[in-house]
Amino acid sequence: MNNFKFISLVLLLTSQLGLAQGIEFRTGTWEEIKAMAKKENKLIFFDAYTSWCGPCKWMDKNTFLDKETGDFYNENVIAFKQDMEKGEGPMLLKKFGISQFPTFLFIDENEEVVHKGMGAKEPAVFIEFAKQAIDPALRLEGLKVQYKDGDRNPSFIRRYLFALRDAGEGRQEVLDWYLSYTTDEQLLSAENYELIKKMIGDPYHPKFMFLEKNRSTYERLVGAKEVKEMLYNAYNTFLVMAMYSGDKDRWENAKIRTGESGFEDAGKLITMVSIYYYQRNEQWDDYILSIDDYVNDYNISGGDMAYYANEIARNDNIQRKDQLNLALGWINRSIKMESKYRNNHAKAALLLKMGNTKKALKAAETALSLATDEEKEKSWTAPTVALIKKIKESA
């Protein structure tokens, strides 16, 4: 009996501590929240989310629970969150012109948005974000005033550009001016590397080409790995956007631009995105040939090989024996690298499609025997069990 009491006390304490951990969001109507802010003389931090938005949930489970984040926000702002599709949500959505989720607003007592950001952020970044908001000289509203008053200092303009970007506001005009008076020499700095990376990132932009041309200098400034990653991401986005555009000329030109860039991973990226392009356009012969190029010419993982082989196995549009044989070649290479549940399952599926039930059954059984506990626990092996059943039925 005493023990029981003690345990519940501990539980109670822990749960209370648990509550204190992270941001404490206030509850109430918008009017009530405004009244709280006025009374406590603080800004309102407003998390505009929806029930279906992934980054919103990520924030709930991670950053909002972070102790330091909680300490800072609880002390400095009135935190409030609202599902934008429920209750007062639609009214607030309209009032503040919100179009993306999550949008984070800092709002003063006159309902003026003084600072703004969007998208998931790590705790450290999220605390910095609030620090900007409570400093009249650093928040977006303050920067806008400074800009309006005529400040055109490069360091100020960079800060302003990043604040506009964080807030999802237009910045092309400011950026064009900034670049128009930044000399090549000035451009060769870590700050301007960051600017080109985050504000431009478009391989057709002259300043992006400038960065490519001066790659070695930038590598000295920010590291070779960083520059390579940046280029990889930029070309990947570039190609993927062109692919999704549905504009054939744009796609062809994007491939040419990437191919001529001299970037070491250009060929790999083109081949990889081409696979998606042909899949999207149901050009199955080209689809298979580009996967085959991708597997043979680039140093790709056994997991990727298995993935493509599995895609071929489940694609009803692909029945030609020579093509299935190509896929079998990929899977054999994958197994040779490391025999695992996944690649053996893909092999089984392929063999069944090719009519080789005997070998298919063997591969399926190997697959099951190699499945990890986790794979079994999460029932990822269910397709193999189904496959075996199917093989036995057809035999």
Partner 1 sequence: MKITKQILASIVYLSISFVGLAQGIEFREGNWAEVKAMAKTENKLIFFDANTSWCGPCKWLAKNTFTDKVVGDFYNQNFISYELDMEKGEGVALADEFKIKAYPTLLFLDGGGNIVHRTAGAMDAEKFLELGRVALDPKRNLAGMEQRYKNGERSQEFIRKYLARLSEAGKPLKEILDWYFYPLSEDDLLTKDNFEVISKYVNSPDSPQFRFLMKEGEAYGQIVTAKEVNDKIYNVYQSHLFGAMYSNDSLKWEIAKAEVKSSSMENSDKLLAYVDTYYFSRKKDWKTYVDAVNHYITNYELDNWESLNRYGWQIYKNTDITDQVSLKLALSWVDHSIQLKNCYANNDTRAALLYKMGDKKRAIKAANQAIAAATADEDTSGTKELIAQMSK
**Residue 174 C-beta: closest distance to partner 1, Å:** 9
**Member of 2, 150, 155, 379 binding partner 1 (CB under 8 A):** 150
Q: Rounded to the nearest 5°, which phi and psi values hold at 327?
A: -65, -40
Q: Note whether 185 binds partner 1 by CB under 8 A.
A: no
Q: Is 61 near partner 1 (CB under 8 A)? A: no
C-alpha span between 275 and 269 (Å, rounded): 10
What one-character-per-residue DSSP string does 133-165 give?
HH-TTTSHHHHHHHHHTT---HHHHHHHHHHHH
Q: Does 180 bind partner 1 (CB under 8 A)?
A: yes
Please state the separation of Cα 16 from the chain's center in Å: 34
Among the residue ranges 172-180, 216-224, 248-256, 327-335, the one whose residues contact partner 1 (CB under 8 A): 172-180
CA dihedral 82, 83, 84, 89 (to 10 degrees): -50
Tokens 């269910």 belong to residue: 382
Extract the tokens encoding 187.
Answer: 């451009």
41 near partner 1, rule: CB under 8 A: no
Q: Which stretch binds partner 1 (CB under 8 A): 96-104, 173-181, 220-228, 274-282?
A: 173-181
Q: Is 156 in the site for partner 1 (CB under 8 A)?
A: no
- Hey, what amino acid is at 336? K
Cα separation, 140 vs 114, in Å, equals: 6
Cβ 170 to partner 1 shortest distance, Å: 11
Closest listed residue to residue 381, CA positions, set 352, 341, 344, 349:
341
Q: Please give the distance of CA 155 from its chain centroid, rounded to a whole number.
A: 28
- Return the residue of 2, 15, 27, 172 that touches partner 1, per CB under 8 A: 172
Q: How many residues bind partner 1 (CB under 8 A)?
A: 11
Among the listed ranges 30-38, 69-77, 131-139, 174-182, the one in contact with partner 1 (CB under 8 A) is 174-182
> Minimum distance from CB of 209 to partner 1 (Å)?
14
Which C-beta is closer to partner 1: that of 176 or that of 322? 176
> By rule CB under 8 A, what string of x and - marks binding of each residue 120-149 to partner 1?
---------------------------xx-
Which residues, in sequence order, are bridge partners of residue 105? 46, 116
Q: Does residue 176 belong to the site contacting partner 1 (CB under 8 A)?
A: yes
DSSP output for 38-65: HHHT-EEEEEEE-TT-HHHHHHHHTGGG
E-state strands within 55-164: 77-83, 103-107, 113-118
Which of the stretches 36-44, 100-108, 171-179, 350-358 binds partner 1 when contact is defined by CB under 8 A?
171-179
- CA 378, distance to chain mean position in Å, is 25
Interaction between residue 181 and partner 1 (CB under 8 A): yes
* Binding site residues, partner 1, CB under 8 A: 147-148, 150, 152, 172-173, 176-177, 179-181
